[in-house]
Amino acid sequence: VDAGAKVLITDRERVDRIGDRLSALNIPGLVIRAEGELPAGCDHLADVVTPGAPMPAVDVATDDDATILFTSGTTGVPKGAVSTNRAVLSGLFAFACRTTVEAIRWAPDTPPDPATTPAPVPPCFILTVPLFHVTGCVPVMLGSVATGAKLVMMHKWDPLRALQLIDREKVTNFVGVPTMSHDLISHPDFEKYDTSSLKNVGGGGAPMAPELVRKIEGSFEGKASPQLGYGLTETNGYGPGNTGPDYMEKPSSTGRVVPIMQVKIVDPNDSEQPNGEVGEVCLAGPMLIRGYWNRPEATAETIRNGWLHTGDLGYLDDEGFLYVVDRIKDMVLRGGENVYCSEVEAAIFEYEGIHEVAVFGLPHDRLGEEVVAAVHPTPGTSIDLDELSAFLAERIAPFKIPSQWYIREEPLPRGATGKILKREIRDRILDGNF
């Protein structure tokens, strides 16, 4: 096992899937939320850990390893990103710094009168993503613990259940991937629940289409602000963030370069690019991982001279705002022209009736690659492809318009973090079973 795990802490659902393999790997299992007999080598956590019992004393140094969080693997094999205590805490303090800067920037010129202004709803986050990925573990869970904020934990993503919890628990901050925000505001029962407590709706993990930004702004009585964070597993989730009036003015940006983190754009020769020129996004700061678990070659390739090479293509504008245009591996090279899939997806999202979309490249004999789109329409709607193509012709260059469309009544496949699995869709199309 690549992780070198010594024990597995899991729940009933997962131990039923993999329990028989644990004994072969010689890894004991501790199971929560389970009744009845367990597979050989597994015990109920409650039978092993006594509530309130003292934990063994351990000396912990600042630069000791603290976490191994595996990347989502949507563009390749997942890698274990190793963070030290310093890196995790630097990420948390950096989030606090960024939040403070934003609060100062957007504070009203005249403080509200406490005699006439209702008391603010206490901060409350809802955990919509798994704790084994960085967003759930660091910004949401550890961030809530560090600040004393209330945390509502979902067992798994369900938009209706999320609406019920937002209403009941008065959630103020919704953090997830853009597909989750879209699921929330497009749910048929959205208007039945009180979402007025929400102040921020957004997250990260993928670019948010400008049309979705506008929909969020108009869906919560003007009280909830759309937000987007550009953070990676390798940065403990921290990075440029876009929120408030900035986001409405620049909905295509992932936000302004932030305190405690350096950002630069480089060409394939690692030469720094001027503002406005597209290149690879590189990040540096104390919140970076020290490397990948048991993957020295990947570490050396990704972290060079203190800079994390993200594999994302982007550019900086003259005001210091970062624009991420695509993954290097996702960019389609069509007849010598670069096609950024996120740009095409954003244009498609503007068309009425689009619930999910994934744009990617497929092999083409003459062009090298052709642009292809998989679409899941909003339930109850149908898509006229001729009309959609004409709609896109008014917004993007002709060579960027998909030449093949795959319309699915079922939702597009997603990974554990909610990201659409383009590689799986592409492979299934090539295999003829999509």
DSSP 269-301: T-PBPPTT--EEEEEESTTS-SEETT-HHHHHH
| 400-426 residue pLDDT tens | 999 999 999 999 998 877 788 998 999
- Same domain, yes or no: 188 and 221: yes
345 closest CA partner among 315, 316, 318, 376: 376
Going across the sheet that includes 291-292, the strands are: 65-70, 80-84, 291-292
| Number of domains into which the chain is organized | 3
pLDDT-derived band of residue 206, with 50, 70 and 90 as boundaries?
low
Output the domain CATH number for residue 367.
3.30.300.30
pLDDT for 256 beyond 60:
yes
- Same domain, yes or no: 223 and 91: yes
Does residue 76 sit within a domain? no
pTM of model > 0.85:
no
408 in the Ramachandran plot: left (φ > 0), alpha (ψ -120 to 50) or beta?
Answer: beta
Enumerate residues 6+ apart whose C-beta is below 8 A from 222.
Answer: none
Mark 95-125 as b/e (b = at least 16 C-beta within 10 Å): beebeeebeeeeeeeeeeeeeeeeeeeebbb
**Average pLDDT rounded to a whole number, residues 13-34:** 85
87-96, 186-195, 196-205, range with the lowest pLDDT: 196-205
Q: Tell me the range of 111-120, 175-184, 253-262, 284-293 where mean pLDDT is highest.
A: 284-293
Does residue 73 sit within a domain? no
Rounded to 10 degrees, what is the CA torsion of 8, 9, 10, 16?
40
| 327-386 residue pLDDT tens | 888 889 898 888 989 889 999 999 999 999 999 999 888 888 999 999 999 988 999 999
Output the domain CATH number for residue 145.
3.40.50.12780
**Average pLDDT rounded to a whole number, residues 256-263:** 91
- Same domain, yes or no: 382 and 420: yes
Does residue 71 sit within a domain? no
Quick one: pLDDT at residue 73? 66
Last residue of a domain, one of 274, 297, 326: 326
- Rounded to a whole number of angstroms, the CA Rg of the chain reads 23
Quick one: pLDDT at residue 395? 93
| 115-141 residue pLDDT tens | 888 888 899 999 998 898 899 999 999
- Same domain, yes or no: 254 and 341: no
Mark 275-300 as b/e (b = at least 16 C-beta within 10 Å): eeebbbbbbbbbbbbebbbebeebbe
Tokens read off for 252: 């295509």
- Same domain, yes or no: 200 and 344: no
Q: Which residue has the tokens 């992780």?
A: 3
Q: What angle do CA 397, 400, 401 make, to 5 degrees?
A: 95
Does residue 95 sit within a domain? yes
- Same domain, yes or no: 316 and 302: yes
Quick one: pLDDT at residue 222? 55
- Same domain, yes or no: 319 and 335: no
Furthest-apart CA atoms within the chain: distance in Å: 71
**pLDDT, averaged across the chain:** 90
| 384-395 residue pLDDT tens | 999 999 999 999
326 neighbors 294 (Cβ within 8 angstroms): no
Last residue of a domain, one of 272, 297, 326: 326
Last residue of a domain, one of 326, 347, 370: 326
43 neighbors 31 (Cβ within 8 angstroms): yes
H helix intervals, 36-81 = 45-48
- Same domain, yes or no: 183 and 306: yes
Cα 236 to chain centroid distance, Å, stands at 12
**Average pLDDT rounded to a whole number, residues 283-288:** 98
Quick one: pLDDT at residue 49? 85
Q: What angle do CA 26, 28, 33 make, to 5 degrees?
A: 150
Which one is predicted more confidently, 99 or 150?
150
- Same domain, yes or no: 145 and 10: no
Enumerate residues 6+ apart whose C-beta is below 8 A from 358.
Answer: 345, 373, 374, 412, 420, 422, 425
Does residue 401 sit within a domain? yes
146 neighbors 92 (Cβ within 8 angstroms): yes
**Average pLDDT rounded to a whole number, residues 29-57:** 88
Element housing 263 (H / E)? strand 262-266
Does residue 385 sit within a domain? yes
- Same domain, yes or no: 306 and 341: no
**Average pLDDT rounded to a whole number, residues 1-19:** 85
Does residue 68 sit within a domain? no
Task: Identify how many contiguous H helices and E strands the chain contains and give both numbers.
Answer: 13, 23
Element housing 137 (H / E)? none
Tokens read off for 395: 């917004």
Domain housing 425: 331-431
- Same domain, yes or no: 381 and 297: no
Does residue 312 sit within a domain? yes
- Same domain, yes or no: 343 and 220: no
